[in-house]
């Protein structure tokens, strides 16, 4: 029998057959299926027509199933059991999850956000695995729609109308200079910022445009390096009077590790929202709902704490006085 022929049959009748075999009574079967007794009798008639067999004979107050009814009932155990399991709510157990999650993100998130969420993730789900891919701003939709990515962590700069998202928190921007930089021991003014050569580490391409908007009407900076990874800028930070523009919390982490000096931006700059983004196909996946809840909770908490620790308010980025 072809699939489309099965589609035209009322498969609910087979469920009714199982209930009739179990109850051996039209009235009790009707009660279980929330039908009237007359409606249940009509169901039995349709079953007999569908299966070309009387299916039951009456013995006193009870129905006695025929051999065909018993044979079909036995054959239905496995498929109906599978359907019951398929249609039942899925109980997600992180400890038994062995899924590999693919996340597209920026170097910033890889260094300063995700490492603080991973310990809790692996504590709850020790068998999961991760693959991190570089964010492609212009192709974010494609990465999440047609690619292998389950989640993106970034500041989106193109339309994400067809995607779902949740905000993680606000991120500010600061500058890093070498201890030997002419500005290392003095306050940096706007003229200084525009005069010295620059390197910018990509959070997303949108951050560069935000800074350019804030500097509209001023001379353009001399950008000698723009890179995805911070290491490229660190390789030349001692060879020229370079100003490296990075997210504020990354600036503090890197300054301690590489003995650099952190400088606030010498102009008004509004912190921007960092988000996690996913395709609607992942919306109701229990595993991915669990992952997003952990990322949201841990990363939002971390970003908020850093804003307070660094003295950043909601409107501007600056070092604590």
Degrees (nearest 5) of the Cα angle 135, 141, 146? 100
Mean pLDDT of 281-303: 88
Confidence of residue 316 (pLDDT cuts 50, 70, 90): very low
Structure-block tokens of residue 166: 């949740």
Which helix (H) or strand (E) covers residue 292, if one does? helix 286-309
Sign of the torsion angle spanned by Cα atoms 247, 236, 188, 196: negative
- pLDDT at 157 exceeding the cut of 50: yes
Phi and psi at residue 163, to the nearest 5°: -110, 165
Residue 310, pLDDT > 70, answer no
* CA pair distance 206, 204, nearest whole angstrom: 5
Confidence of residue 170 (pLDDT cuts 50, 70, 90): confident
Q: What local confidence, expressed as pLDDT, does residue 315 receive?
A: 46
Compute the distance between CA of residue 316 and CA of residue 265 in angstroms, rounded to an integer.
9
The residue to which tokens 């300063």 are assigned: 112
Average pLDDT over residues 131-146: 88
Please determine, for residue 278, whether its predicted confidence score (pLDDT) is greater than 60: yes
Q: Which of 31-35, 148-152, 313-317 has the lowest average pLDDT?
A: 313-317
pLDDT bucket at 205, cuts 50 / 70 / 90: low
| Strands 243-247 and 261-264, bridge-based pairing | unpaired
Question: At 29, is the pLDDT very low, low, confident or very high (cuts 50, 70, 90)?
Answer: very high
Helices 248-258, 286-309: crossing angle, 10 deg rounding: 70
Q: What is the pLDDT of residue 320?
A: 34
pLDDT recorded at residue 314: 42
**Residue ranges covered by each domain of the chain:** 3-84, 97-169+273-309, 173-264
Q: How far apart are CA 249 and CA 3, in angstroms?
A: 59
Q: Is 92 left (phi over 0), alpha (psi -120 to 50) or beta?
A: beta
Is the model more confident about 107 or about 127?
127
Q: Where are the alpha helices (DSSP H) in 33-125?
A: 37-51, 67-87, 107-112, 114-124
CATH fold of 97-169+273-309 reads: D-Maltodextrin-Binding Protein; domain 2 (3.40.190)
Q: Which residue has the higher pLDDT, 106 or 97?
A: 97
Asked if domains 97-169+273-309 and 173-264 share a fold, the reply is: yes
> Taking the domain 173-264, which CATH number applies?
3.40.190.10
Instruction: Give me the mean pLDDT over the 164-192 stretch.
Output: 92
65-93 per-position pLDDT tens digit: 999 999 998 998 888 888 877 777 777 89
Please state the φ and ψ torsions of residue 170, each to the nearest 5 degrees: -100, 140
**CB of 143 closer than 8 Å to CB of 149:** yes
Element containing residue 232 per DSSP (H, E): helix 230-234
How high is the pLDDT of residue 204?
A: 57
Please determine, for residue 149, whether its predicted confidence score (pLDDT) is greater than 80. Answer: yes
pLDDT digits (tens, 9 = 90+) for 224-252: 998 877 888 899 998 999 999 888 878 88
pLDDT tens per residue across span 31-71: 999 999 999 999 999 999 999 999 999 988 889 999 999 99
Note the CATH number of domain 3-84.
Answer: 1.10.10.10
Of the pLDDT bands very low, low, confident and very high (cuts 50, 70, 90), residue 129 is very high
Question: Is 196:242 a contact under the CB 8 Å cutoff?
Answer: yes
Q: Give the closest residue to 274 by CA, choosing from 60, 79, 109.
A: 109
Q: Is the pTM of this model over 0.75?
A: no
Per-chain mean pLDDT for the chain: 86
């Amino acid at each position: 029998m072809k699939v489309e022929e099965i589609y035209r049959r009322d498969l609910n009748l087979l469920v009714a057959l199982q209930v009739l075999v179990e109850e051996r009574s039209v009235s009790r079967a009707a009660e279980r299926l929330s039908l009237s007794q007359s409606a249940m009798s009509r169901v039995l008639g349709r079953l007999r027509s569908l299966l070309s067999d009387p299916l039951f004979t009456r013995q006193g107050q009870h129905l006695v199933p025929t051999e065909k009814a018993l044979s079909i009932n036995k054959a239905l155990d496995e498929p109906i059991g599978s359907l019951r399991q398929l249609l039942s709510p899925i109980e997600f157990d992180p400890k038994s999850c062995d899924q590999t999650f693919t996340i597209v993100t920026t170097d910033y998130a890889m260094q300063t956000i995700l490492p603080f969420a991973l310990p809790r993730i692996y504590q709850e789900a020790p068998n999961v695995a991760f693959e991190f891919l570089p964010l492609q701003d212009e192709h974010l939709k494609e990465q999440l729609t047609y690619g292998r990515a389950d989640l993106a962590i970034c500041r989106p700069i193109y339309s994400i109308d067809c995607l779902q998202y949740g905000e993680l928190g606000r991120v500010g921007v600061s500058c890093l200079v070498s201890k030997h930089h002419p500005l290392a021991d003095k306050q940096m003014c706007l003229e200084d910022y525009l005069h010295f050569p620059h390197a910018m580490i990509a959070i997303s391409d949108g951050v560069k445009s935000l800074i350019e908007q804030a500097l509209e009407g001023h001379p353009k900076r001399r950008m000698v390096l723009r890179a995805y990874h911070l290491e490229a800028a660190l390789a030349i930070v001692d060879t020229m009077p370079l100003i490296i523009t990075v997210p504020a919390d990354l600036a503090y982490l890197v300054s301690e590790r590489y003995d650099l000096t952190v400088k606030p931006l010498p102009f008004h700059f509004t912190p921007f929202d960092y988000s996690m983004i996913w395709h609607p196909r992942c919306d109701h996946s229990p595993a991915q709902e669990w992952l997003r809840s952990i990322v949201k909770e841990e990363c939002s908490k971390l970003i908020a704490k850093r804003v307070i620790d660094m003295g950043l308010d909601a409107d501007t980025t600056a070092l604590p006085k």
